[in-house]
Amino acid sequence: MIFVLDTDHITLYQQGHAALADRLAALPPGQLATSVITYEEQLEGRLAVVRRARTSAERVRAHYWLQRTLDFFCRMPILPFDEAAASEFDRLRKLGVRIGSQDLLIASIVLANHATLLTRNGNDFRRVPELSFTDWSAPT
């Protein structure tokens, strides 16, 4: 079983969310990954903060988080948006699944890899047929 971290769970983990960190640490090697879409979302967010920084303190903080994000993704397996995910994406679009494009791309990758998505965004992801997802941010 592969568990795929959504952007919200990665952000919580980076902020030191203890319950989530404990559950992730208990997973055997090879059972945790994220998606290239989540990488894209995090990188875009970090770069936007870097570009908005005006003071030295803001630049230091923005680059600190950019570096932490780079370090995180260098250690984390990243699942691609490949042909299998593209087929899932097309299938879900034909079914009329109505969620945000980025979320639909993530769901497609998770489905193509027969994985479970770790997310707090159950409201949107429950609209995706056959998608397995759960929220590990809540205390057990």
- Termini Cα distance of the chain: 20
Domain boundaries, the chain: 3-35+78-134
What is the share, in percent, of the chain residues with pLDDT greater than 90?
96
pLDDT in tens, 88-108: 999 999 999 999 999 999 999
Q: Give the DSSP H/E element, type plus range, for residue 117.
A: strand 116-118
Q: Give the DSSP H/E element, type plus range, for residue 66.
A: helix 56-75
The length of the chain, given as a count of residues = 140
Three-state secondary structure call for residue 104 = helix
pLDDT at residue 125 in the model: 97
Does residue 64 register a pLDDT over 90? yes
Does residue 35 register a pLDDT over 70? yes
d(CA 59, CA 70): 16
Q: How many CB atoms lie within 10 A of CB 83?
A: 9
pLDDT in tens, 77-89: 999 999 999 999 9
Instruction: Assess contact for 115 and 90: CB atoms under 8 A.
Output: no
Q: Please, what is the average pLDDT of the chain?
A: 96
- Mean pLDDT (whole number) for 70-75: 95
Instruction: Assess contact for 109 and 35: CB atoms under 8 A.
Output: yes
Does residue 139 register a pLDDT over 80? no
Q: If you search the block for the tokens 């965004």, which residue do you land on?
A: 121
- From the number of C-beta atoms within 10 Å of its C-beta (0-12, 13-18, 19+), residue 17 rates as middle
Band of pLDDT at residue 140, cut at 50, 70 and 90: low
- Mean pLDDT (whole number) for 123-134: 96
For the domain 3-35+78-134, what is the CATH code? Answer: 3.40.50.1010
The identity of residue 4, as a single letter, is V
- Mean pLDDT (whole number) for 123-132: 96
pLDDT in tens, 6-34: 999 999 999 999 999 999 999 998 999 99
